[in-house]
Structure 1
């Protein structure tokens, strides 16, 4: 067999494998879009305001502790707490956990909210670094500040759980802002299911470019920064397609650590947050599924599209690379820790559908995409018989990224209308056309770094530059 024949058969096999994989991924995502549309159409027919009023008294019996882990968050922590004070919810406490910050996070919170040292019983049910002091606000009795030695986000969350008093806790990032009805909405499935739902997560939106004042988003606007715009599209695709579709069948392995509610009882039963992984939020959800299935407990974890948490996204490539690298590293770490669930019928739909989805689509997706990009480039260079295959694969890439992204944007505009200006929706649609040419290749490179860090055993969380969300921003059209 000569070299031409070898190249021909290699091209046939290699291109066929990539085509089959891409078609499979497109099919899965298309089904998710259909399920998301059906669920959102069902929700859209409900009178949400009336439903909220009906459930307001019901949730009174389920008070919530909101835990805010903060490490060097002096810029955004005050806005976050101010937004939490505006929540429409009968009974909740705010537990700010200063995780050994090196900036003035601790003193800023003490000064603004007039905190004073108090004695508070701490239930040491989960391991955490030493607590140096506990403070309570003289202005708002429900604000508690925990000052502890640095131990990482997972450690801070465990400390917050130990200090918290209520049966459910909500974890929120120190640079995030909740809309006023978010907590009420995210608790609805927990309340209405009589405890069958033990965890729920809400949607996360990017606040960069929006008008913000005193911890409230006055006007949501799509900014001009291309890096931020592409992340908005990504978030819409992830939340309005992926998580709604997976939640419909209790297949969620991820609910955002930026905004999620958990049963404290079951969180303690599985050992709380794992301090030895950088993907602590996903790892907790996987362990909860593992525990429920092993003990044959019929509970579920849900995603609620209505509640909105606003967060600050990276606005430069350096910070974006750090964020995506650690996200993918966290995904790999969580799946490796729970690899016994993969294709294991003992874990039912989680082991046979959910874990395989995250392994074969989310985890190895960047590897296949990289091979696909290399194949397309080489085929265009070589030409001849390879050109047709390259064009076909490129069309699949367009469908995989651009078309699905556009449908997600339209689905969000139809169901929620987070960005009410028509020009914002048009901007998102136009930017989605460019995704396959620059943004997705960058994400492939950044996510592949997660593999490299994992292989090296490097659990470096990294740091992101924050400009804060406390001021109005004019980065708009």
Structure 2
């Protein structure tokens, strides 16, 4: 076989791969479109206000891990305490902060040491104190630093209620978000966990911990990420939920039945993708125990988060997300193509392995093979056009379709100017931004092979009274270099997310 023949075969292989993966995406989009249309139609008769006023909603605990959050923790806790829900408490876990996080909470909420027991049903670092507010349903657990997963486990142990909502300290929730994310758990006892949508806060206006006006940001990089998040949550995650093989509930905003999280062993502390790993392990444990269950995603309980505004910070984030994905797939590889695990084994795991894990390798190889084919003169014009349409054209279609699905069904961005801007970025991202993301993810495979477990330092400007244009914040590990909590894994070209 000559070099030219090898290059030709390589190009045909990559073209076939692109066609297959985009065909899968189109099927997922079709399922998501039908599911969201049905969800919006049912939501009109959902009786959300009646649910709020009734006694049918089980009480819930919001678990908030915090590390060095003194600047924003008071406003965040106040916003969580005032969410619309019949009965809920907030458990803040101070994960060995080195700043005044604990003292600020004690002072602002008049906290006193409490003898409330913490049921240590999960392994955590040493708990050094428990504080409670005399006027609010607020508990603060003070503990030695153990990382975000360890802090979440401590909060789940301290929770008094059957539903636990795990989220980041710097997330902004819409007022009815807790009620909306709990609704599937209220409606069916077989639902074990629910994920809500995470949206990009950069550019939007906020006041007193509430969003006033959703807007797109001025800078390009956050706009690219808005399109990604729309693909990830609305256009793809909805479909996986419908098929009951959703493997990711964003670490930034998800609700679980406390008993099922504990039965699965809680969050793993030795991974950088703790959100995906927990959900995948829950699938595995529930299947192995022959439980009839559902892990769901609902598109309207909204959490707003700031995203990176520099390539340096974003690259570190995406590298970590992809390493977390790989780690989860390898930990639970026995589920791959295993019919014992139902749709998760025969659909979800193969998809993530073939298209998420290996996708960046094949895509980069495709670009190299295509360039080599042009250089050697072994690629004709019809093939070049087909390759371009498969690699770029369908990516444009999928990105713009996600934006229009948002407008037609959810209408979160009220201004046409914002939708036109997002459509423009949905087209533009396929010419450079997507390729950079592919490179980051390919490099993450190398990092994983070298056993790199760092989170990477991240930055956040924080929510101002007005417009938010920021980065990322939270130090979830024992190492001070770890300084971010991610909304979720995001896949190019379709997809955070935690």
TM-score by length of structure 2 reads: 0.91
> Which of 64, 69, 73 matches 1:73?
69
1:42 aligns with 2:38: yes
Q: Runs (4+) of structure 1 moved beyond 6 Å?
A: none
Which protein is richer in helix relative to its size?
A: 1
Q: Within 1, Cα distance between the matches of 2:199 and 2:106?
A: 29
Q: Within 1, Cα distance between the matches of 2:289 and 2:232?
A: 31
- 1:321-360 mapped onto 2 (5 Å cutoff): 321-360=315-354
1:122 aligns with 2:104: no
Gaps of 5+ in 1: none
1:190 to partner: Cα distance:
0.8
Aligned to 2:109: 113
Alpha carbons 2:203, 2:217 under 8 Å: kept: yes
1:131 to partner: Cα distance:
1.1
Relative to structure 1, the CA distance from residue 284 to residue 54 in structure 2 (aligned partners, 3 Å threshold; closer, same or farther) is same
Relative to structure 1, the CA distance from residue 186 to residue 18 in structure 2 (aligned partners, 3 Å threshold; closer, same or farther) is same
SS for the counterpart of 1:305 is strand
> Which of 450, 459, 464 matches 1:456?
450
Aligned to 2:136: 141
Alpha carbons 1:79, 1:469 under 8 Å: kept: no
SS for the counterpart of 2:254 is strand
Aligned to 1:98: 94
Alpha carbons 1:223, 1:229 under 8 Å: kept: yes
Alpha carbons 2:167, 2:253 under 8 Å: kept: yes
1:78 to partner: Cα distance:
3.1
- 1:174-189 mapped onto 2 (5 Å cutoff): 174-189=169-184
- Most deviating of 51-60 and 415-424: 51-60
Q: Within 1, Cα distance between the matches of 2:231 and 2:363?
A: 18
Q: Within 1, Cα distance between the matches of 2:321 and 2:261?
A: 22
Alpha carbons 1:66, 1:170 under 8 Å: kept: yes
Q: Within 1, Cα distance between the matches of 2:374 and 2:8?
A: 16
Q: Within 1, Cα distance between the matches of 2:152 and 2:175?
A: 23
1:381 to partner: Cα distance:
3.9
Alpha carbons 1:76, 1:470 under 8 Å: kept: no
1:259 aligns with 2:253: yes
SS for the counterpart of 1:283 is helix
- 1:241-280 mapped onto 2 (5 Å cutoff): 241-280=235-274
Aligned to 1:173: 168
- 1:66-465 mapped onto 2 (5 Å cutoff): 66-138=62-134, 140-193=135-188, 195-383=189-377, 385=379, 388-465=382-459
After superposition, the C-alpha distances for 1:185-235 in whole angstroms (9 at most, x for unaligned) are 111111111x11010000000111110111101111100111100000000
Q: Within 1, Cα distance between the matches of 2:119 and 2:227?
A: 42
Q: Within 1, Cα distance between the matches of 2:238 and 2:466?
A: 32
Relative to structure 1, the CA distance from residue 452 to residue 108 in structure 2 (aligned partners, 3 Å threshold; closer, same or farther) is farther
Relative to structure 1, the CA distance from residue 105 to residue 374 in structure 2 (aligned partners, 3 Å threshold; closer, same or farther) is farther
Q: Within 1, Cα distance between the matches of 2:124 and 2:9?
A: 52
After superposition, the C-alpha distances for 1:442-469 in whole angstroms (9 at most, x for unaligned) are 1112212321221111211222101111
1:67 to partner: Cα distance:
0.3
Alpha carbons 1:116, 1:135 under 8 Å: kept: yes
- Most deviating of 329-338 and 68-77: 68-77
Relative to structure 1, the CA distance from residue 268 to residue 474 in structure 2 (aligned partners, 3 Å threshold; closer, same or farther) is closer
Q: Within 1, Cα distance between the matches of 2:71 and 2:218?
A: 23
SS for the counterpart of 1:68 is strand
Q: Within 2, Cα distance between the matches of 1:163 and 1:73?
A: 20
Aligned to 1:27: 23
Q: Within 2, Cα distance between the matches of 1:317 and 1:112?
A: 37
Alpha carbons 1:81, 1:215 under 8 Å: kept: no
Alpha carbons 1:64, 1:92 under 8 Å: kept: yes
Relative to structure 1, the CA distance from residue 78 to residue 231 in structure 2 (aligned partners, 3 Å threshold; closer, same or farther) is farther
TM-score by length of structure 1 reads: 0.94
After superposition, the C-alpha distances for 1:125-176 in whole angstroms (9 at most, x for unaligned) are 00001112122234x4211111111111110000001111111100011110
